[in-house]
Amino acid sequence: MEIDEVKLRKDIFRLVNYLSRHEKASSMQEMDELRTLCQLYKELTGIDYVFDFFLNKKRVDHLYHQYDVVNANVFRDFCEMYFADLVRCALKLEKSTDKNNEYYMQVAANKLGKKMRYYNEKEFKEIILSYYAEYGDDIYNLVKEYFDNSRIGMGVWTEVSEAYFANSFLGGGYVANGHEDLSTYSLGGVVHELGHAIDYKKLYLNQGKKLSTISDTLLETPAHFFELSLYEYLIKNHIDIDYALLLINDSIFTDVSRLTPYKGIDVFDGIMNLDGEIVDEEGNLIYNLRDDIVYFLGTSIALNMMVRSKDNKKEFNSILNDYLCGRKERTFEQSLETLGISYEDFINGKYIKPYIKQRNKELIKRIND
């Protein structure tokens, strides 16, 4: 499964020509998207297109700074309003797992990891398409286009092991996954990034809305929802029960535990830099606050979405579409209400504590069998 390098190179030069002609109107986000596409091309071919070469570097630097300052302020406002409640939520969710959960996760990785299933390319593709078909023709066709147009590449390492690269002018993007093996693990990674592709299409392309990766604290929720729901799909259809169960518990354990260490800590004693990180006076990293919040919300809201979707899948697909399309205009509480979840119920873990407890017990049982 490979990305079409010729198509990617043509996309880069189409985007360069567009930004060169519209330089004064172009945004920092568009320039950053060009940078990441150039990075992807370098990983595939070894050819380094330094994107600053194509554009006015002074203007690029000015837009970067202006963009970062505005969105760092939006993120700070979010933290001051919600951070203490989110830490409280994380601590409540942690209590839903076994007190020895960290030990059990290590045992599960060793024992169940050996049972992980591998697929050929046809099986891998068919599972993804049949899974996404449950969300309607619109989402199914979007995902199918990525396969049909060679926009998914395996064994491609960039700054991270899994990534989605896109641009609004090009009308879409590329999914890169660093793992060459077609396994249940890499299946979840590809579905996660395709979740970003769906979100990008629904929010950015269809409506022309712009949200930064700093200020959009709900950025990861769609991708986490599709990934975690995939694992439930694998369990329900007896495709890979053991490893899917392990990955569900791993996502919960990893992302909930991101915020539990903040108990009793005033993060605002430090200095928040433009990347949403807390640093000391010398600029040394203390907490990666932006990532910790975004990934905690990604998993915790996705779990709420999964539990709520079980009541009526068809009705939920309409709710999901509304959530994806209307995120920019809504407050955090309003986005939750779109999903039928009150802010208080979310913080208290009303819907997902029983689910977490159930899946955690099932994992421990399979370890001990």
Average pLDDT, the chain: 84
35 vs 232, more confident: 232
pTM score > 0.75 for this model? yes
303 vs 99, more confident: 303
Backbone angles phi, psi at 282, to 5 degrees: -90, 0
Backbone angles phi, psi at 176, to 5 degrees: -120, 135
Calculate mean pLDDT across residues 12-33: 73
Query: What pLDDT score was predicted for residue 243?
Result: 93
What is the three-class DSSP state of 192? helix
Is residue 337 in a domain? yes
Query: What pLDDT score was predicted for residue 276?
Result: 78
CA distance 154 to 167: 20
Is residue 171 in a domain? no
Is residue 17 in a domain? no
Query: What pLDDT score was predicted for residue 187?
Result: 96
Is residue 237 in a domain? yes
Q: Residue 119 — left, alpha, or beta (φ > 0 → left; ψ -120 to 50 → alpha)? A: beta
First to last CA, the chain: 37
Counting the structural domains of the chain, the total is 1
Residue 328 · residue 209 · CB < 8 Å: yes
Residue 165 · residue 36 · CB < 8 Å: yes
CA distance 215 to 76: 9
pLDDT tens for 273-303 read: 777 788 877 878 888 888 999 999 999 999 9
Provide the residue count of the chain: 369
Residue 209 · residue 168 · CB < 8 Å: no
Q: Is the pLDDT of residue 149 over 90?
A: yes
CA distance 104 to 365: 10
Residue 245 · residue 235 · CB < 8 Å: yes
Domain residues for the domain of 220 are 82-149+183-368
Closest C-alpha to 264, from 94, 99, 84, 76 = 84
Is residue 1 in a domain? no
What is the pLDDT confidence band of residue 141, given thresholds at 50, 70 and 90?
Answer: very high
* Rg, C-alpha atoms of the chain: 21
What is the pLDDT confidence band of residue 248, given thresholds at 50, 70 and 90?
Answer: very high
Closest C-alpha to 1, from 46, 44, 47, 49 = 44
Count of alpha carbons within 13 Å of 283, Cβ hemisphere only?
A: 2
Is residue 358 in a domain? yes
CATH number of domain containing 341: 1.10.1370
Is residue 107 in a domain? yes
Residues 6+ apart with CB under 8 A from 321: 202
CA distance 284 to 278: 8
Is residue 314 in a domain? yes
201: DSSP letter: I
Helix ranges (H only) for 113-183 are 121-132, 137-148
